[in-house]
Structure 1
Amino acid sequence: MPSVEILSRIQFAFTIAFHYIYPPLSIGLGVCLVIMEGLYLKTGLPVYRDITRFWIKIFALIFGLGVATGIVMEFEFGTNWATYSHYVGDIFGSALAAEGIFAFALESGFLGVLLFGWNRVSKGVHFFSTIMVAFGSIFSAIWIVIANSWQQTPAGYRIEGHDLGARAVITDFWAMVNNPSSIDRLSHVLVGAFLAGSFLVMSVGAWYILKGKYIKHSQAMFKVGLSVAVIAALLQLFTGHRSAEYVSKYQPAKLAAMEGHYDSLAVADMYIMGWVNTKEEKTTGIKIPGGLSFLTHGSFSEPVQGLRSIPKEDRPTAVNFVFQTYHLMVAIGITLIALTLTAVVLLWKKQLFNHRWLMWIFVWAVLLPQIANQLGWYAAEVGRQPWVVYGLLRTSDALSKKVTADQVMFSLILFTLVYMLLFVLFIFLLNRKISHGPDITDEDEDDSEHFSKRNIANIPA
């Protein structure tokens, strides 16, 4: 039987990873909804009204699953991580309270108008509700990321008490909010969310195009998704670099693990791909000599602190895991840039929807932002080990003292079963809504019902 610490970490990783499927989708989809409805108000074309109403239904489904799966984590703070909860309660609780009072209330309050306000409120009021729901989802992410960022780079606090009775207390609220990593991490998270939502929109649009259904509607939603995705994909290069800069300054052990850099203080290479042998403390693979030194310090000859300069008890233990998750995340990011730029060029040439192979890629590319978001989270959280609050509280000291391994294992099994049922339900309902398609209120606005198989066959493969 694994230890309580390992099981508790696995349980929390599983529950938060499952929950993290939904908030990025709702954030990115919220932005797309604002654009769709804004285009409807500007142009008056029913096609934009139809796709807005269609995606609002899917947004409501995603929002509901996100709320249901997120509640569990708050209970885990008390059941599995009681010492941690006592230690950071004043700080983490403030951020969570702000998220609930300001963000969740804003988002859920206007969601009712968004869902049921068509033909009941004016177009302007409904559009304002759409903006508020989108803003509320972003605002929610802001407070969650601030709380997590404080654990990465603590600021604006003092420690009261000793040993098990010690706790961090806020001395400067705005210093806590604007801790050294909060802005960089927030921008990186939000851009990843924009990619997740926009690629979902493009995936469904591409599917309809391949099936010859809702032609005008599918092309319109694809273009909206693409407009968000191409900007977000390019921005992710900048936000990713900024995030790496804060890691190099405040968490050198994590940066060294991300690139498998062991030498105490030497020029650091940047690996395109590779493998870390943790026993021999050696990394092999395809690399750019001095690349990490250049990205970190702007010079190929500048030394970078390596893992051997850090006491073993303060290093990440799963170095190869951090290395692989980080590099896979970067590889997916580059792939998303290539995909979106290709689509933009073909759209400019008015050839985008003629290439079935590209539409099939976009159907399945919906998985890539989700995988990248998960990989980035794993790299960030596993990379900061053995600390749960960096430099202040170790993960092994943050556990509840009365919980046994059997109890954690039992609850982990139950959570797995329940979450799998929820996921099956989500896929079933999502598939049903996609199969139903947009409610076309003006038959003249779409000719998809008469789009013959012969026309589909004429599209170049």
Structure 2
Amino acid sequence: MDVEVLSRIQFAFTIAFHYIYPPLSIGLGLILVIMEGLYLKTGKKIYEDMTRFWIKIFALIFGLGVATGIIMEFEFGTNWATYSKYVGDIFGSALAAEGIFAFALESGFLGILLFGWNRVSSKVHFFSTIMVFLGSMFSAVWIVVANSWQQTPAGYHIVGDGLNARAEITDFWAMVFNPSSVDRLTHVWIGAFLAGAFLVLSVNAYYILKNKHLEIARPSFKIALAVATIFSLAQLFTGHKSADGVAVNQPAKLAALEGHFDSTAAADMYLLGWVNKESQTTSGLKIPGGLSFLIHYDFKTPVTGLNAFKPEDRPSQVNAVFQFYHIMVAIGMALIALTLYASWLWKRGTLFDKKWLMTIFVWAVLLPQIANQAGWFAAEMGRQPWVVYGLLRTSDALSNAVKAEQVLISLIMFTLVYLTLLILFLYLLNKKIQHGPVMTEHHGEDDESGDSSRRQNPIMHH
């Protein structure tokens, strides 16, 4: 393989592995805010106990997310030097904002979140929980803004010519609110909420099946189910809104997502299928004219196909883009069905009687993760052959000094290190799950600050 392919594989591998953790921390942050908020509102110690338990898991996830994210910044300079020079002014401002406004906020309050139970009031601790959650949300803002600028550049001009050309910001807020950033951000946020919610659902479904920690497992499951139901439905709307934006701003990507070639014909919407790039045909189970209807609200209106673009301006792996996109959509619909059915059983009072359903929820933790990964792969592969859409080709963005064998060796090393980290993460996560939440005794009514029970027995709460 040549250096471009290896560099793309290396970056895809490192960022895909890293992206296991940020969605979990964002989604789990929301759950923590809800749980601790319920504790402050009701004074019930059960909510404090579940918050304490999930903070421990949050800390583990946060640590792995930070450790695995550092590598990518170095890859910009080592493998993609031309790209870094071209977009340095754009990415520099976005990543600097991420560090100043997001990471500093998140990490600054993390210490209070983890170690402040016996040292600050309940309200201050809850405030720190909110700030950590907002910090993780803001971090996603600036990363998605930077990536969205690659998809739909705005608020810039080009300075210099040839190898010295680079993009320079002319309007910071036009760059931030580029045509795709808001739609993509809401889609990413909701995907993260689902990842966190389904982690909580999975662990508590396991406890329910094992008949362990039921005092915490059942109410925790219900909290996470409410979050998962709301946002699985919301994701349907944000996904449609994002697709509308792709239709306007990146028609070649939209055509690849549905394997549509003929610009004179209406576009079908496939439930599943296979794209033959050579014969320029797509076969499978489809809704005739379905894509045309979603875009134009008419089943017969033609949609721009891949044939409208030069071969060198089309995504090279059309079938891969198609498959990743449809995996994401299929999982999204499955999550809607699963959460609505579980919510219906909850309303009937028979939710925890269905052992087979609890077993599904134990393994369903994988579904949002797969959907998030598949969605990003579809978005990034669909943008090809451009690393900055319409401005800079991926083949032109590489570092001239890096050799293929160097990338291959580093890729092998990264794979070994990341596999070790994954094994360690799963081991520690399983250890915390097996240990389970620690139940505290109620020592009387909390005082006005909500701290009396904590201060009466600080050892128990440490």
Asked if TM exceeds 0.5, the reply is yes
For residue 118 of structure 1, give the secondary structure of its aligned residue in structure 2.
coil
For residue 266 of structure 1, give the secondary structure of its aligned residue in structure 2.
coil
Alignment-mate amino acid for residue 297 of structure 1: H
For residue 375 of structure 2, give the secondary structure of its aligned residue in structure 1.
helix
Structure 1 segments unaligned to the other structure (5+ residues):
445-461
User: Does the 8 A contact of 2:263 with 2:302 survive in 1?
Assistant: no
State the alpha-carbon separation in 1 of the partners of residues 226 and 181 from structure 2: 27
Deviations 1:26-66 (A, max 9, x none): 00000000000001111111111000000000000000000
Aligned to 2:217: 218
Q: How far off is 1:264 after superposition?
A: 2.5
State the alpha-carbon separation in 1 of the partners of residues 118 and 68 from structure 2: 32
Q: How far off is 1:220 after superposition?
A: 1.4
The equivalences for 1:311-326 within 5 A come to 311-326=310-325
State the alpha-carbon separation in 2 of the partners of residues 265 and 384 from structure 1: 23
Aligned to 1:383: 382
Aligned to 2:340: 341
2:41 paired with 1:42: yes
State the alpha-carbon separation in 2 of the partners of residues 406 and 188 from structure 1: 37
Q: How far off is 1:298 after superposition?
A: 1.1
For residue 265 of structure 2, give the secondary structure of its aligned residue in structure 1.
strand
Aligned to 2:280: 281
Aligned to 2:302: 303
Q: TM-score, normalised by structure 2?
A: 0.95
- Give every structure 1 segment of 4 or more consecutive aligned residues whose post-TM-superposition deviation is greater than 3 Å: none
Alignment-mate amino acid for residue 41 of structure 2: K
State the alpha-carbon separation in 2 of the partners of residues 274 and 424 from structure 1: 35
State the alpha-carbon separation in 1 of the partners of residues 54 and 367 from structure 2: 20
Structure 2 segments unaligned to the other structure (5+ residues):
444-462
User: Does the 8 A contact of 2:109 with 2:129 survive in 1?
Assistant: yes
State the alpha-carbon separation in 2 of the partners of residues 220 and 96 from structure 1: 39
Q: How far off is 1:163 after superposition?
A: 1.0
2:163 paired with 1:153: no
2:102 paired with 1:106: no
Q: Alignment identity in percent?
A: 72
Deviations 1:1-47 (A, max 9, x none): x0000000000000000000000000000000000000111111111
Alignment-mate amino acid for residue 205 of structure 1: N
User: Does the 8 A contact of 1:158 with 1:169 survive in 2?
Assistant: yes
State the alpha-carbon separation in 2 of the partners of residues 144 and 89 from structure 1: 14
Q: Calculate the aligned-residue CA RMSD, in Å.
A: 1.0
State the alpha-carbon separation in 2 of the partners of residues 53 and 265 from structure 1: 59
State the alpha-carbon separation in 2 of the partners of residues 339 and 416 from structure 1: 34
User: Does the 8 A contact of 1:265 with 1:309 survive in 2?
Assistant: no
Q: How far off is 1:265 after superposition?
A: 2.8
For residue 303 of structure 2, give the secondary structure of its aligned residue in structure 1.
strand
Q: How far off is 1:443 after superposition?
A: 8.5
Aligned to 2:368: 369
Aligned to 2:178: 179
User: Does the 8 A contact of 1:200 with 1:366 survive in 2?
Assistant: yes
**Number of paired residues?**
444
Q: How far off is 1:355 after superposition?
A: 0.7
Alignment-mate amino acid for residue 63 of structure 2: G
Q: TM-score, normalised by structure 1?
A: 0.95
State the alpha-carbon separation in 2 of the partners of residues 388 and 224 from structure 1: 41
Alignment-mate amino acid for residue 100 of structure 1: G
2:190 paired with 1:191: yes
State the alpha-carbon separation in 2 of the partners of residues 208 and 436 from structure 1: 11
State the alpha-carbon separation in 2 of the partners of residues 46 and 437 from structure 1: 16
Deviations 1:90-111 (A, max 9, x none): 0011100000011000000000
Aligned to 1:457: none
